[in-house]
Structure 1
Amino acid sequence: MSDESFSESEAEELVKVEEDSFKSKPINKQTRSWLIPLCGGTGLGIAIALGSMGILSYLPARQQTAVANKAAPKVNPAMTVTVATVEKTRIARTLNTTGTVAARDLIPVLPQANGLQIKIIPEDVKEGSLIKKGQVLAILDDSILQAQISQAKADVESKQADVASKQADLASKLANTISNQAIVQQRKADLAQAQAKLEEAEKNFRRYRQLAVSGGISQQELDTRSYTMKTAKETVRLAEENVYSAQANVGSARANTSSAEANINKAKADVRSSIAKVQQLQAQLGQTVVRAPVSGIVAEKLARVGDVTGVPPQTQVGNIIGGTQKLFSIIRDQRLELQAQVPEIQLPQVEVGASVQITSDLDHRVRLQGRVRDIQPLVNDKRREATVKIDLPPTDLLKPGMFARAAITTNTTIAIAVPQKAVQPQPDGSAILLILSGADTVRAQKVEVGEPIDDRLVEIKSGLQLDDRVIVDGAGYLKEGDKVRVVSQAGEQGSRGAGEQGRNN
């Protein structure tokens, strides 16, 4: 303020001196009147300049005074951190192995009719397609079957006409048999009449012979009676022969009838055979439509339009099953399995039903939960490994033939685990954890680290106590004795209610 006051008074004094100077020279007033405004303006400019200099020197002083008057801030902790409380957790011990993804149930689709050309394959039927049971996979050319069916039907009609002809012949044979049977009856009647006449002639002959002995009649009369008796006997003999002959005719007629019946039966059998052939061809006609036997995914498409069923191309010689060409392969219900190889010395650790974690080196999205379904009884005598079949859940990330890793759960145990990023590796190969001592002080603790449990947690074998508070976020920037401020508990350990965690064996 003193600099500003001095400057202003000095300027006023200079202006006053100039005015007095002008007043003391009245003679020159008229001649030098133009100097008055000039001197006044000059003095005013000097006053303004001096005032400005005072103001400029005054402002920094005020700012320094304001900064000096501010209260000194409180010293903050070194860093804001999060902590995790050390707790027990259940760890699943696992056996790591590798294997190949395969179809659990691969169903071959074979043609039911051989020798037919493949006419149509729907565009939506290709490898990897999802299909349903009964869906059309291919249509075969049925023109040959249609011609065979027409010929077989004509043959049936011809055989049926032959049956009708033979039935008419049978009716004729039956009529002849009946006629011969009537003749037999007539001959028998003639025989009975001849036998009656013979009996009468014999009686007469015996009576006349007694009369001839007594002389009642002549010898000639007796000879006549004897001749009549002999004639009657001959008549009886002829009648018997006629009966036998008629009976023979009946037997022959019956034989002809039986033969006619046999011919009819054979003709009817021929008709049935022809009808069966028609039905077989019609069934084959239905088989010209190849349908999916099960629902699933098309794993292989071996058929091509123009191929003849039962006659595979040279490139598909290995796709013959039971003498029939395989057209497609279907993975039933999309079910896959991992065929993992396990050394024989580790087989006792694996149990059917054990949980398995499936991963892939090529696709990190693959994190599937499988289960051991079967352990093959045979061990490879060269590699000393057995195949363990692991059921996989339905997925689009894995395909048959792909490589995958499996962590088979062998047992579970209780251990201490902390977040991996809380562990601070040391140059000598050891590791430390920064533990919160009291409310805000950092303490370094050397620990023995076990194997990683998963991508978040690691097992601590020794060096920690339950309920210790381990610094997680910010641990890499701290040292022992630093002051910190805890904002929240780290949620990364998740040991409470987290269930089983995996650990490599």
Structure 2
Amino acid sequence: MGEESYSELGTEQSVKVEDADWEGKKLKRRSPWLLPLLLGTGLGVAIAFLGMGVVSNRQTPSKNAVTKSTQQVAPTMTVTVVSAEANSIARTLSTTGTVAARDLIPVLPQTNGLQIKQVLVNEGDTVKAGQLLAVLDDSLLQAQISQAKADIESRQADVASNQANLEAKKADVASFQAVVQQKRADLAQAKAKLEEAQRNYQRYQQLAKDGAISKQELETRETTLKTAKEAVRVAEENVRSAEADVSSAQANINSAQAGINSAQANVKSNAAKLQQLKTQLAQTLVRAPVAGTIAEKLARVGDVTGVPPQTQVGNVVGGTQKLFSIIREGKLELQAEVPAVQLPQVKVGAAVEITSDADKRVRLQGRVREIEPIVNDQSRKATVKIDLPPTNLLKPGMFARAAVTTNTTTGVVVPQKAILPQPDGSAIAFTLLGEDTVRAQKVELGEILNGGKVEIKTGLQTGDRVVVDGAGYLKDGDKVRVVGG
């Protein structure tokens, strides 16, 4: 700008100053305090216009120089890039639930009325099937076992005594049977004599009729006949008496045998009682019915089995106090609640990712085992049971989150490090144009994948090269030096 321009500008400014002076004179009469303010304002405006003209003329060539210099500056940022790739992406349904034992086995005392003497495990312990968990007081059972053994010995002595008596009774029977045989022989002999006496008497009767013998002699033969008859009668009575003795001896045998049977029955009864006591003695050793993890320890030293303390009334199962609870094989499940409207998306066997807000180390892979057939009529949700892998990070009763895989699709994925969150909640990635220029590309994120990758719903295509290392230091249009990808 020449001297003429500066002159015109000075004249114009002078006019403005004069106008301001005139206005100041008018206002001075009304508000004396405004005059210095307006005068200062007018001078400031004039100086500002003058300065803007000078600066404008001086900066125009400088701006061109900067632009020209920028085009010639070599890239200084070194970055690595990767190509966006196609990958299988699992669509998931997010829900929450409670960790529970898949199969919780109660351990009950097998005998009641005994005091707990020892407790050998604690909650959280891993146990094997048959492992000793607690010991009950067996002193009373030991005393009863000793008494039962004594009773058995006594009954066995009774058996031996009755067997000896039986043998004696059998000997009596044999003796009486011999007597019977003898008496029967005597009877046979008496009968023979009777027959002979009868024949003689009949013959002598005929002789007496014929007058061959005397009447006295006939009377003698009659007496002999009567004597023979009496002898037969006595012999028969002796036989009957001997047979009665045999019957009595046989009855004694039966009585002795009954005594033996009774004694043997008592022995068996006492032996059964002894076996029962021994079984109860074995039951004073409380053992784990299955292998697993101790979830509850309710047994306390000094408690009496079958008589739960007031604080454990709720732990009675089938009328018996529960001593322990075991998670069979330590298997856990997540009982997740899924709204009825989303239930058709869940399939048995579907993969599930388990996480916990309380413990970031929890990142487990489970699987849907069962979908309960009943929907809660209040919450309108159904319980989905998800098998969990073995872990020490989760306990029954804990809260956990579940991402249930509903289907699998193919999508574009890139490393999470390539994504830059923005203040407005959106996200961008820097893509490589040509070989050394980057462009900020807005992207829409999808599923977070394993291996530090993320799905890109929109904004990128398969094969696009995106900046990974160094992305956080770039801006749109920067020149870069690529060392990878």
TM range (shorter): 0.7 to 0.9
Q: What's 2:87 paired with? A: 89
Q: What's 2:102 paired with? A: 104
Q: Give 3-state SS (helix, strand or coil) of 1:145's partner.
A: helix
Match of 1:199 among 195, 202, 221: 195
Match of 1:79 among 77, 80, 88: 77
Matched residues in 1 for 2:84 and 2:455: separation? 11
Question: What is the correspondence of 1:41-60 to structure 2 with a 5 Å cutoff?
Answer: none
Larger radius of gyration: 1
Equivalent residue letter for 1:117: Q
Shift of 1:364: 0.5
Extract unaligned runs of 5+ from structure 2. Answer: 1-71
Shift of 1:212: 4.2
Matched residues in 2 for 1:106 and 1:488: separation? 55
Q: What's 1:304 paired with? A: 300
1:380 partnered with 2:376: yes
Change (3 A) 1:364 1:447: closer
Q: Give 3-state SS (helix, strand or coil) of 1:488's partner.
A: coil
Shift of 1:467: 1.3
Shift of 1:185: 0.8
Match of 1:470 among 445, 452, 466: 466
Change (3 A) 1:284 1:450: closer
Structure 1, 398-407 or 386-395: larger mean CA deviation: 386-395
Structure 1, 210-219 or 415-424: larger mean CA deviation: 210-219
Q: Give 3-state SS (helix, strand or coil) of 2:484's partner.
A: strand
Q: Give 3-state SS (helix, strand or coil) of 1:191's partner.
A: helix
Equivalent residue letter for 2:283: Q
Change (3 A) 1:103 1:447: closer
Matched residues in 1 for 2:248 and 2:417: separation? 113
1:140 partnered with 2:133: no
Q: What's 2:263 paired with? A: 267
Change (3 A) 1:342 1:228: farther
Matched residues in 2 for 1:126 and 1:427: separation? 52
Matched residues in 1 for 2:424 and 2:278: separation? 85
Q: What's 1:285 paired with? A: 281
Q: What's 2:321 paired with? A: 325
Question: What is the correspondence of 1:144-159 to structure 2 with a 5 Å cutoff?
Answer: 144-159=140-155
Q: Give 3-state SS (helix, strand or coil) of 2:483's partner.
A: strand
Structure 1, 442-451 or 103-112: larger mean CA deviation: 442-451
Deviations 1:373-393 (Å, cap 9, x if unpaired)? 223333323223322222212
Matched residues in 2 for 1:317 and 1:447: separation? 60
Change (3 A) 1:338 1:447: closer
1:127 partnered with 2:162: no
Shift of 1:442: 2.3
Q: What's 1:65 paired with? A: none
Q: What's 2:247 paired with? A: 251
Checking the alignment, whether the CA contact within 8 Å between 1:99 and 1:340 is kept in structure 2 is: yes
Change (3 A) 1:375 1:214: farther
Q: Say what the alpha-carbon RMSD is for the aligned residues.
A: 2.8
Say which structure is richer in helix: 2
Checking the alignment, whether the CA contact within 8 Å between 2:89 and 2:447 is kept in structure 1 is: no
Matched residues in 2 for 1:459 and 1:112: separation? 59
Q: What's 1:419 paired with? A: 415
1:174 partnered with 2:170: yes
Shift of 1:86: 1.6
Equivalent residue letter for 1:331: I
Q: Give 3-state SS (helix, strand or coil) of 1:89's partner.
A: strand
Q: What's 2:394 paired with? A: 398
Shift of 1:361: 0.8
Change (3 A) 1:429 1:319: closer
Matched residues in 2 for 1:363 and 1:449: separation? 25
TM-score w.r.t. length of structure 2: 0.77
Change (3 A) 1:174 1:194: same
TM-score w.r.t. length of structure 1: 0.74
Equivalent residue letter for 1:108: P
Matched residues in 2 for 1:237 and 1:351: separation? 107
Shift of 1:338: 1.3
Matched residues in 1 for 2:119 and 2:443: separation? 67
Checking the alignment, whether the CA contact within 8 Å between 1:78 and 1:482 is kept in structure 2 is: no
- Report how many aligned residue pairs link the two structures: 415
Extract unaligned runs of 5+ from structure 1. Answer: 1-73, 490-505
Matched residues in 1 for 2:394 and 2:425: separation? 39
Q: Give 3-state SS (helix, strand or coil) of 2:233's partner.
A: helix
Matched residues in 2 for 1:305 and 1:249: separation? 69
Change (3 A) 1:428 1:169: closer
Deviations 1:31-62 (Å, cap 9, x if unpaired)? xxxxxxxxxxxxxxxxxxxxxxxxxxxxxxxx
Shift of 1:430: 6.4
Matched residues in 2 for 1:428 and 1:282: separation? 78
Checking the alignment, whether the CA contact within 8 Å between 1:340 and 1:406 is kept in structure 2 is: yes
Q: What's 2:479 paired with? A: 483
Q: Give 3-state SS (helix, strand or coil) of 1:232's partner.
A: helix
Matched residues in 1 for 2:215 and 2:380: separation? 130
Matched residues in 2 for 1:202 and 1:346: separation? 124
